Each structure stands twice: as structure tokens, then as C-alpha cells.
Amino acid sequence: MTIITVEHVSKQFEQSVGEGTQTVTALHDVSLKVGSGDVLAILGPSGCGKSTLLRIIAGLIAPDKGDVLYDNVSLRQIPLKDRGIGMVFQDHALMPHWESGKSVGFFLWLRQREHEVPERVHRIAQITGVGIEQLLERKPSHLSGGEQQRVAIARALTRDPRVFLFDEPFSNLDAKLRAEARVELKRLLHEFPVTSIYVTHDQHEATALAPRIAVMREGHIEQVGTYRHLYENPINLFVATFIGVIPINLFQGSVRDSRWHGEYFGGYSVRKDIPDGTRLTLGVRPESISLTPAETQDASVEEVTPYFAERFQLVTVRAGRERWALTLPPETPVAVGDACRCALDTQALLFFDTRTGTRVG
Ligand SMILES: Nc1ncnc2c1ncn2[C@@H]1O[C@H](COP(=O)(O)OP(=O)(O)OP(=O)(O)O)[C@@H](O)[C@H]1O
Ligand SMILES: [Mg+2]
């Protein structure tokens, strides 16, 4: 299996605007490593450079600066035929430098060459279930988008790739199919470990498939870690707000005598070296806010949304100009208009420099 190393890769594009052109920095000094047989997800908003990075790792485009290595050998020194890359894109499957079996259905092609691949194909079909065998008999043009993607993945696996690269392969599928395809892919990668990179802007998908996630923004990798680490220890406001299905609550405030004071909440200790007057944003996850009924009307419940499947209710509370969300067990009695008091779990407070966004506590 192959170790992928990305070393200080930068890439700019010229884009035409009106009469002239402008230079866009798609990647800026990106470095990362994917261990042999590991799966890394690259997660980030649209336009942050995910596909560009993946294409550079595939050797489809060259970086302006930096290098990509497979097992410590620069991609530039590996002939195309020896790269062994399996790639699955959003709208079409593409396996560079491998015959595609375009006009013949994949299954027919396999039967002609059965002696080369039988055991592996048999296992793949077993893992993906009956579905795939039926699909494999059809011509690609007779397959739906989701079916094409599944066949593309199965086909790539039969060729025993060194590296597997995915660029939002399931983003055109509906939610149910997407979840199924994800489970199937996970099973396949478990059975046939291949060093893989999976690009997505969907955090569910990233967590489902990859133990490690790299969060990208504007051509930079902001942070790499497990979902839990990114969720609990984001290094800046961007990661804190990007990670989390229910957005993190943010409160504005400032420091006085090494304590943070906001509008409704306040009095929490911060690092001693932060000067008085520094503006800090406090981030608190919804599950780290508790709610108790109160007599006074200083805070009140504004909205209650049940999430039956997830077994919680999402409660929005308002006090003055501030508003925050918290989660409660489904059986907790709570209604719109209830007067309440909220408290924060002081173990779970995240402080960020409001000006720079950097985490400071
Ligand atoms: N061939 C190209 N020519 C000019 N600009 C490009 C080219 N490819 C990408 N870009 C620009 O580089 C930036 C990064 O694009 P990229 O496709 O890598 O983003 P992405 O993270 O994959 O986005 P999405 O989630 O929408 O697919 C964008 O500003 C994009 O407009
Ligand atoms: Mg993309």
C-alpha cells in the first residue's frame, strides 16, 4: 500500500473577468500525509480548493510549487502506467490510463478476462450485495447516476489501485441512496484497504467514511483531526462554526480582570495574559447549555423543534438581543414562551479572539 505525501503545494489560476484576467490562489502552501491504507476526508466549503488539491494528488494538473509523493517518490518520476490511481468524480467515473470497457458492459468485459480477476470480483460482489451483480450486466448508459458510481468504484477496486481518490462521488444521489452507497464503500475499503482521499463538503459523509478529516478554507488546510477533536478543539472560529450539525452558539463579549463578560452570560475565567478590553467571542455547543424554568422573564423559549429520530428537541432561547440554541431530551417539558434560565458547562467553553478568529482558550 501507498503513503501519500503532499509537500508545500501551491496553485494559482488565471481567470478572465470582463476584458482582463485575475489571478486566483486555489491552494496556498498545502501539506499533508495519508498513511498506508488510511482514509482521509477533505472537508470544506465550495471553492476552497478541494478538487484542485485532489487533481494535483492524482497528477492530472501540476502544482506551481511543491510536490506530491507516493511512497517517497515524486509523482513526476512515476510513469503514468505505474501510478495505479482509481478516481471517482461527482458526475462521471474516470480511471486515468485504464481501459474503460466503454462499449461493452463491465460484466461482459469481466467474463472475457475472468481468469485475471475472479476471486477479487467475487468478493466485491459479495460485499456490495446482489445489487451490484445486476448492475454489472448492464451497459453504463443504462445505469442511473448512483448505479454508475457504484459500478465505477467496484471496477476500480478490481484493478487493485495503489491510491483511491473520490471527489464528491455521491453528491448527486438522494439522501437515502447516498447513505447506502457510503456504507457500501466503507465495507469495501475495510475489506480491500487502499490509501484513499475523499473530498466532500458534507460532514456526515466525512465522518462516516474517514477517521481523519482535513478542514480546508480558501486554499489552506486549517486543521486535521478526528471529527471529535475538531468538534471539541477547533483551532479557530472557522473550524468551530463549520463543524457541527447544529451550529455552535457564539456570544460576543470582552475581558475584564481575566474574566469574560457578555450580555447575558459572563464571569468566566480566561487566560491571565489576555489584556483587559480584548474582545473575545465565546463559542458553546448546544449540548453544553442547560435550561431551568424561572420566575423572571429575562430569558424565554422562542422555538422548540423535535428531532424524533435523533432523540432530542432543539430549543431556541432569547434574552435581550441574544439568541442561542440548546438540546434537551425529548421528554423534557418545554414550550414556546416559557420563562427560563440558562447556564453554560464551564468545561466546554471555547474562546476566540474576535478580531483574528484564533482560539485563545
Ligand atoms: N481550471 C480552472 N481555471 C480557473 N480557476 C479555477 C480552475 N479550477 C479551479 N479554479 C478556481 O480555484 C478555486 C478552487 O476551486 P476548486 O474546484 O478546487 O474548489 P472546490 O473546493 O472543489 O469547490 P466545490 O466544493 O464547489 O467543488 C475556485 O476559486 C475556482 O474558481
Ligand atoms: Mg470540487
Ligand nearest to the CA of 45: 1
Q: For each of the chain's 361 residues, which pLDDT tens digit applies?
A: 899 999 999 999 999 888 999 999 999 999 999 999 999 999 999 999 999 999 999 999 999 999 999 999 999 999 888 888 988 887 654 443 333 333 234 444 444 555 555 566 667 777 766 455 566 666 666 667 777 777 778 777 777 789 999 999 888 888 888 888 888 889 888 888 899 999 999 999 999 999 999 999 999 999 999 999 999 999 999 999 999 999 999 999 999 999 999 999 999 999 999 999 999 999 999 999 999 988 877 899 999 999 988 899 999 999 999 999 999 999 999 999 999 999 999 999 999 999 999 999 9
Ligand nearest to the CA of 220: 1
Measuring CA to CA, how many Å separate 173 from each of 133, 215, 268, 330? 20, 23, 46, 31
Within 6 Å (CB) of ligand 1, which residues are found?
13, 15, 24, 26, 44, 46-52, 201
The pLDDT score that the predictor gives to residue 115 is 57
Residue 293, Cβ density class (10 Å: 0-12 exposed, 13-18 middle, ≥19 buried)? exposed
Residue nearest to atom 30 of ligand 1 (CA): 47
The pLDDT score that the predictor gives to residue 116 is 53
Number of structural domains, the chain? 2
User: Ligand 1 centroid to 58 CA: how many Å?
Assistant: 16
Q: Which residues pair with residue 238 across a beta bridge?
A: none
Residue 360 belongs to a domain? no
Range of the domain at 211: 4-16+24-242
Residue 288 belongs to a domain? yes
Q: For strand 20-34 and strand 4-17, is the pairing parallel, antiparallel, or unpaired?
A: antiparallel
Mark which of 209, 242, 275 sits at the end of a domain. 242
Nearest to 33 by CA among 63, 72, 59, 60: 72
Q: Which atom of ligand 1 is nearest to the CA of 90?
A: 27
Residue 162 belongs to a domain? yes
Q: Which atom of ligand 1 is nearest to the CA of 219?
A: 14
CA quadruple 69, 70, 72, 74: dihedral positive or negative? Answer: negative
The pLDDT score that the predictor gives to residue 254 is 98
Q: Are residues 237 and 332 in the same domain?
A: no
Q: Are residues 290 and 203 in the same domain?
A: no
Q: Are residues 109 and 230 in the same domain?
A: yes
Cβ distance 187 to 127 under 8 Å?
Answer: yes
d(C-alpha 245, C-alpha 347), whole Å: 21
User: Ligand 2 centroid to 348 CA: how many Å?
Assistant: 34
The pLDDT score that the predictor gives to residue 132 is 58
Cβ distance 101 to 49 under 8 Å?
Answer: no
Q: Which atom of ligand 1 is nearest to the CA of 11?
A: 12
Q: Are residues 271 and 150 in the same domain?
A: no
d(C-alpha 194, C-alpha 130), whole Å: 23
The model's pTM is: 0.88
User: Ligand 1 centroid to 49 CA: how many Å?
Assistant: 6
Q: Which atom of ligand 1 is nearest to the CA of 14?
A: 4
Q: Are residues 254 and 238 in the same domain?
A: no
Cβ distance 194 to 38 under 8 Å?
Answer: no
